[in-house]
Amino acid sequence: MSIIGEIIISVLLVGAGFFGLVGSFGLLKLDQPMTRLHAPTKATTLGVGGVLIASMLFFLFFAEGITFHELMITLFLFVTAPVVAHFIAKAHLHRNWKPEDLPSPEGSTRWSTYCEPDQPGSGKPDSTEP
Amino acid sequence: MMTIALYIAILSFGVALLMNIWVVARAEGVGDRVLALDTMVINAIAMMILYGILHATPVYFEVSMLFAMVGFISTVAYCRFMLRGNIIE
């Protein structure tokens, strides 16, 4: 029982280290800012999730019992990572791009992040057009 | 075996933190620096958890939780400052 837990924890730890390394290396290596956004927000989050699961199994197998702090941290990180990625992408769009340079979305709508709050295409229900 | 895996993971996240410091120091735009700081927070959380496993103590979970919250709020504040010029309107 103990050797099985040790093998599982070791595999999780090595995999998590690999994913964390890949995420940070992608942040260093990829060439465009929008592609650079992918590496840390996905690979590094997966890596830290692996570390947290390994920690939970370690305290289940070798210490005083199961702990649920790791689940809270995992939930918090997995909820906040897309929010952070969205914020950074939005800041990048507003600082470095003009709306004319972007490909237009489908239909007659515009990019909602460039719209005023009461314009059509801003995501709110439109009362002036059918 | 588990100790070796633990040291491999600590080494990987240490190298990842060094890469992030390099990006923070040498990036072209401010967006990359904010992204690298956010990645640094996540890697530092992983380092803290690994240190907790190494010493078999559950003390570091509260530290990691607080670190995650402060890192998220600081990244959102940085992005808001880049977008609007101020944080609390």
The 10s digit of each residue's pLDDT in A22-36 is 999 998 888 888 888
When the pLDDT of each residue in chain A is averaged and rounded to a whole number, the result is 83
What residues in B contact A90, CB-CB < 8 Å?
A: 79, 83
In angstroms, what separates the C-alpha of B29 from chain A's closest C-alpha?
Answer: 9
- C-alpha A43/C-alpha B80 separation (Å) is 25
ipTM above 0.85, yes or no: yes
Interface test with A, best of B7, B35, B37, B70 (most A CBs within 10 A): B35
Each domain of chain B, given as residue ranges in start order, spans: 2-84
Q: How far from each other are the two terminal CA atoms of chain B, in whole angstroms?
A: 54
Percentage of chain A surpassing pLDDT 90? 28
For the entire predicted model, the pTM comes to 0.85
Yes or no: say if A23 and A44 are a contact pair by the CB < 8 Å rule.
yes
pLDDT the model gives residue A7: 92
Average pLDDT over residues A50-74: 86
Contact with chain B for residue A94, Cβ under 8 A: yes
